[in-house]
Amino acid sequence: MFKKLVFLGIIFLPLILWIVWSNTNKNSSNSSMIYVEKNDENSEKVLNEDLSKYFSGYDGCFVLYDKNQNKYLIYNEAKSEKEISPCSTFKIVNALIGLDTNVLQDENTIFKWNGTKYAIEEWNKDQTLSSAVANSVVWYFQEVASKVGEERMQEYLSKIDYGNKDISGGLTKFWLQSSLKISPRKQVELLRNMYDYKLPFSRKNIDIVKKVLKISEQNGIVLSGKTGSGTDGNKSINGWFIGYVERDNDVFFFAVNIEGKDNATGVLAEQIAKNILKDKNIL
């Protein structure tokens, strides 16, 4: 009996050691790039990549979704799930709601400047939806929100499940470093749903918003997006750039957010996003 047990041990011990070695190696993969694929063939794939070199001095994250590959690439996954004030990226949803409620008729709807002098010269004139998006004119969208009203605004945010849906910060400022918050990952999901006409807005109105979000088109590559900047006093502490790139019959949706004690602006977030997208041969 003892000899039989020894014999079985000799046979199975190498197999047991091989299984242990395999599992150990599997769990010690490179932390800067981890590929996680769910069993369901329709599930999204997630690739976590170390892109910290692009975010020096800032608490930042990058989320990218490749439509054709059904794949996410994420830097700083914990931050990608953190809810943050959307600032002027909320203009995308504000425009959709304004169009759906007939507060806005199309991209040429004019709101008159009331004469208030703003530090940004482009704000000191009458605006259309197109110019208000291009120049990120806060007063234009404050007027949109005022005309939509608190009750309808809340209904729409609940309907599209926008972030924490909290507009308690005030009808004309809840999205400006205030009560409303959304994560970078949810920003990308919102863009995906808008692009695919899965939001509760008409195709016509979604197409209008897509049109005003377009930034550039070159060599068959189209970049669309919106910046956002949040301030604390005179310090820029929250910068966004979200959007998508259309090329080669594919669409790449992205969101960059940076937070810092100062100089964390939408302009910087846009530059970081463009640098990453160019280095990945997307832009």
CA–CA separation, 222 and 139 (whole Å): 28
Contact 191, 93 (CB under 8 A): no
pLDDT of 263 reads 96
- Compute mean pLDDT per 10 residues along the chain, 283 residues long, and list them: 44 44 38 37 80 96 98 98 98 99 99 97 98 98 99 98 98 98 99 99 99 97 98 96 98 99 98 98 97
pLDDT of 45 reads 87
pLDDT of 119 reads 94
* 85 classed as catalytic: no
Q: Closest by alpha carbon to 138, among 160, 159, 161, 122?
A: 122
Contact 47, 66 (CB under 8 A): no
CA–CA separation, 228 and 30 (whole Å): 33
Q: What is the pTM of this model?
A: 0.85
pLDDT of 21 reads 41
Q: Closest by alpha carbon to 47, among 77, 82, 83, 79?
A: 77
pLDDT of 19 reads 42
CA–CA separation, 102 and 108 (whole Å): 13
DSSP SS3 for 162: coil
pLDDT of 10 reads 45
Q: What are phi and psi of 240, to 5 degrees?
A: -125, 150
Determine which one of 22, 31, 80, 88 is catalytic: 88
Q: What domains are defined for the chain? A: 30-279 (3.40.710.10)
pLDDT of 42 reads 58
